[in-house]
Chains A and B, each alone.
Chain A
Amino acid sequence: MSAATTTRRTASSGTERRPKEAGRPQAGGSTMDRQRRKLLVPFVGPAFIFYTALFIIPAIGAAWISLHKWAGSGPMTFVGIENYLRVFRDPLFLKSFGNTLLLLFVVGAAIFILAFAMTLVLRDMAGKKIVRSVIFFPHLINALVFGVLAGFIFNPGGIVNTLLAPLGVQNPPAWLAQDNIFPLIMATLVATTTGYFTTILMAGVDRIPPYYYEDCALAGATPFQRLRYVILPLTWDVFGTCAVLWTISSIKIFEIIWVFGGSSGAGIPPTQSWTTAVYTYVTAFSGQSTPAYGAATASAIISLALVSVLVVVLRRAMRRDAVEF
């Protein structure tokens, strides 16, 4: 209490002493700093409590639940890593996990190649602001919408088939057959996500000062050399960020699969298109069989482990000396 009053007194009477202090670097901030430090609890406290109670504790709880056999109510039996062994023996989980990996790597690679190509074209094209703002917009739309629209477009009597008929395609593939849904989902994701990453890459490319390009032109660099020696090194950190972003968001993909094609008969999508997020949800909440909370969280924890490993690896692999410019 006395410390608090002293500080307050210094703060109010400090005006005359201030010029002397101002000579020292950061001295003007020292009273301010001391005052600020006292704000720790009122400023950080509420955010800390909400975040801890509704995010960190559940995350720790998940690790705990994944070590138990539990149907949500009734007794929890400790089974150790049995749940993890169980999901890895479950063909459904293996399929879901495989699909998640496909999304992560195949869709990710497609998105990055396309986004980078688009960035290179966009860089100095007329009307780039319009293009950029249009291709960014799908990021703001719930993926459910794309799933439902795809159902209409790829219907047996839908738009795609009516467009294909005049081209002489008599027996178009059954687009929405259970085996074909997942590749369609992958294509839809590429189409709807590329714009977002293009926007972020563009922000990185736009930071490159134009005189580098002019220097390239004067030195007679080919477009490829310019790409290799100027654009790539200077946007490398943005690439790293994008890769991490995609890793984190691809693991969560759920909505688009849940309604894709609008064909989910019993409210559950065909197992061929499940991802680990869908597996977790269905195993715990489908209401079709006894909920297996342990196995469901185990599958979620496995995705978390996958994200963590990949993020660490990516940060290692993408680490370069930051280029200052």
Chain B
Amino acid sequence: MTTLTKQKPPAPAPLRRPANRRGTSPAMRAEHSIARSIGVVLLWAVVAISIGMLVWMLLQAFRDTRAILSNPWGMPESFDMVNFVRAWTASDFATATVNSVVTTGVSSFLTVALAAPAAYYLSRVESRLTGALSMYFILGLGIPAQVILIPLFVMLNEAHLTDSLFGLNLVYIGVSMPFTVFLLTAFFRSLPLEMEEAAALDGASALRTFVQITLPLAKGGILTAFVLQVVSHWNETLLALTLIQSTEKYTLPIALISFVQQQTYSGADWGGLFAGLCIVVLPMLIVYVWLGRHLTEGLTLGMGK
């Protein structure tokens, strides 16, 4: 026996295959046409230009208007925050930023807090009523904001809630319901039922099952819904423009619009404007870098099905 094993021919040298670094099978990357290579180059160009634009905008925010206009490609001489300080103090971006942060935070939180139980119910109980309710919520997805603009203004005016951030928050919550309920319903449906059944077997009430079992399981989906609302409320313009009139209640987009419009009278202050743009864009960049995975996942979860 031992001799036999010894006489066994050495294993053939392993076939040398090129390392498959991309993780795709070789059959899938068979062709290398010219059109494809051009496409790849163009795509990287798009990426470079996008990043370049962002960096360029950031850099210009540190230069004064005359320098920007004489040489738009120039580098800032120093990183002093004079534009930011001026935008922050003189142009009321400070109040607007606080308003935007508070409005976005409060309305996004409340939207998700109200939509999550509703979505849970609609995803777990199957009856003709829940079917109709789901349709009722989805209906809102197709109604553009300008339709409800004027009636909302009239209604809130009656209730003395125009020109009030409280009113704006209420509106944001109501308007965000369809999408959030829709997204979270899809998300709750994708969760396994077994844990909830086990909790029910252990005698937990339906409410307790929801709070202690489902909510922790759904943390990812709920965070996604929250971040999507943060993005949309931070950028919302039309409703805020209609419902808010006094400067001290402006949200950032409205402050930016009024800043742009002042310039037609007072001459262009591009330095300040770039600083203003950065104040609008940077929080989104931070959110994206921090929670971007949730964002893209959430969008594809909501849209793909």
Partner-contacting stretch, out of A105-113, A166-174, A177-185, A249-257: A249-257
In the complex the two chains form, what is the Cα distance from A121 to B31 in whole Å?
A: 12
1/0 per residue, CB under 8 A from B, across A121-150: the answer is 110111000111111111011101100110
Candidates B24, B117, B304; contact of A204 at CB < 8 Å: B304
- Number of A-B residue pairs having CB atoms within 8 Å of each other in the complex: 301
* Contact (A117, B39) CB under 8 Å given A51-B177, A55-B178: yes
Give Cα A213 to B125, complex, Å: 40
Flag if A307 contacts B142 (CB, 8 Å): yes
- Chain A residue numbers with a CB within 8 Å of B263 are 262
Q: Which residue of A53, A281, A308 contacts B174 across the interface (Cβ within 8 Å)?
A: A53
Q: Are B125 and A254 in contact (CB under 8 A)?
A: no
Pair A134/B50 contact, Cβ less than 8 Å: yes
With A50-B174, A254-B237 in contact, is A43–B121 under 8 Å at CB? yes
Measured in the bound complex, the distance between the Cα atoms of B82 and A323 in whole Å is 59
User: A2-38: contact bitstring with B at CB < 8 Å (1 yes, 0 no)?
Assistant: 0000001001101100100000000011011101111
Is the Cβ of A59 less than 8 Å from the Cβ of B149? Answer: no
A262 touches B50 (CB 8 A): no
Assuming the contacts A59-B148, A131-B43, A199-B299, asked whether A39 and B121 have C-beta atoms less than 8 A apart, the reply is yes
In the complex, which residues of chain B have a beta carbon less than 8 angstroms from the beta carbon of A217? 27-28, 30
User: Would B144 and A251 count as touching, CB distance under 8 A?
Assistant: yes
Please name all residues of chain B whose beta carbon is closer than 8 Å to the beta carbon of A265 when the two chains form the complex.
264
Chain B's closest residue to A159 (CB) is B72
Decide yes or no whether A193 CB sits under 8 A from chain B. no
| B side interface size, CB within 8 A | 106
Q: Is the interface of A mostly helix, strand, loop or mixed?
A: helix
Selected interface stretch from B88-96, B215-223, B253-261: B253-261
A267 to B118: give the CA distance in the assembly, Å.
41
Q: Given the complex, which residues of B lie within 8 Å of A232, measured CB to CB?
A: none
Contact B201 A15 (CB under 8 A): yes
Whether B151 is near chain A, meaning CB under 8 Å from some CB there, is yes
Binds B, one of A77-85, A86-94, A296-304: A296-304
| Docked-complex contact A245 and B174, CB < 8 angstroms | no
- Cβ of A308 to closest chain B Cβ, rounded Å: 6
Residues of A within 8 A of B153 (CB): 284-285
Contact with A along B215-248 (1 / 0, CB 8 A): 0000000000000000100110110011000000
Q: Is A277 interfacial (CB-CB < 8 Å)?
A: yes
User: Is residue A187 contacting chain B, with contact meaning CB distance below 8 A?
Assistant: no
**Contact residue range for chain A?**
35 or more
Docked CA distance A209–B24 (Å) = 11
Q: Is there contact, CB below 8 Å, between A51 and B178?
A: yes
**Complex: chain A residue closest to B257, CB-CB:** A259
Closest-CB distance, B186 to chain A (whole angstroms): 12
Asked whether A44 is an interface residue with its Cβ less than 8 Å from the other chain, the reply is yes
Given A35-B206, A140-B284, A144-B237, A55 contacting B140 (CB threshold 8 A): yes
B248-285 interface bits toward A, Cβ cutoff 8 Å, 1 = contact, 0 = none? 00000100110011011000101001000100110011
Task: Report chain A residues within 8 Å CB of B277.
Answer: 145, 148-149
1/0 per residue B183-212: CB within 8 Å of A?
000000000010011001101011101100
B201 in contact with A124 (CB, 8 Å): no
| With known contacts A39-B207, A131-B43, A131-B47, A307–B173 Cβ distance under 8 A | no
Q: Taking the complex as formed, is A47 at the interface, i.e. its CB lies under 8 A from any CB of chain B?
A: yes
CA distance A8 to B200 in the complex (A): 12
CB atoms of A72 and B154 under 8 A apart = yes
The dominant DSSP class at the B interface is helix
- How distant is the Cα of A144 from the Cα of B281 in the complex, in angstroms? 10
Least Cβ–Cβ distance between A237 and chain B, in angstroms: 8
Q: Are B146's CB and A33's CB within 8 A?
A: no
Contacts of B148 in A (CB 8 A): 54-55, 58-59, 61-62
Given contacts A43-B117, A55-B177, A265-B264, contact A284 B150 (CB under 8 A): yes
Residues of chain B lying within 8 A (CB to CB) of residue A218: 27
B147 adjacent to A300 (CB under 8 Å): yes
Given contacts A55-B175, A203-B300, contact A61 B154 (CB under 8 A): yes
CB neighbours (8 Å) of B117 from chain A are 39, 42-44, 46-47
Q: Is the CB of A277 within 8 A of B296?
A: no
Confirm or deny: A210 has a beta carbon within 8 angstroms of a beta carbon on chain B: yes
From the candidates B40, B114, B141, name the one contacting A47 in the complex (CB within 8 A): B114
Question: Which residues from chain B contact A251 at a C-beta distance below 8 Å?
Answer: 144
Contact of A48 with B133 at beta-carbon distance under 8 Å, contacts A131-B43, A255-B253, A304-B144 already known: yes
Q: How far is A132 from B154 in the complex, measured between Cα atoms in Å?
A: 43
A48 touches B40 (CB 8 A): no
B79 adjacent to chain A (CB < 8 Å): no
Are A281 and B151 CB-contacts (below 8 A) given A137-B285, A162-B72, A213-B27?
no
- Rounded to whole Å, the gap between the CB of B294 and the closest CB of chain A is 12
Q: 20 more A-B contacts (CB under 8 A) besides A29-B193, A32-B197, A38-B206?
A: A28-B201, A29-B197, A35-B200, A39-B117, A40-B121, A42-B117, A47-B115, A48-B118, A51-B140, A54-B148, A56-B140, A58-B151, A124-B28, A137-B288, A142-B280, A214-B28, A217-B27, A217-B30, A301-B147, A311-B142
Which 4 A/B pairs are nearest by Cβ-Cβ distance? A54-B174, A61-B151, A217-B27, A121-B39
What are 20 sample pairs from A and B whose C-beta atoms fall under 8 A apart?
A8-B205, A12-B203, A18-B201, A32-B200, A35-B205, A35-B206, A36-B124, A54-B148, A61-B155, A72-B154, A117-B39, A118-B39, A118-B43, A124-B24, A131-B46, A140-B284, A144-B237, A255-B237, A276-B146, A281-B242
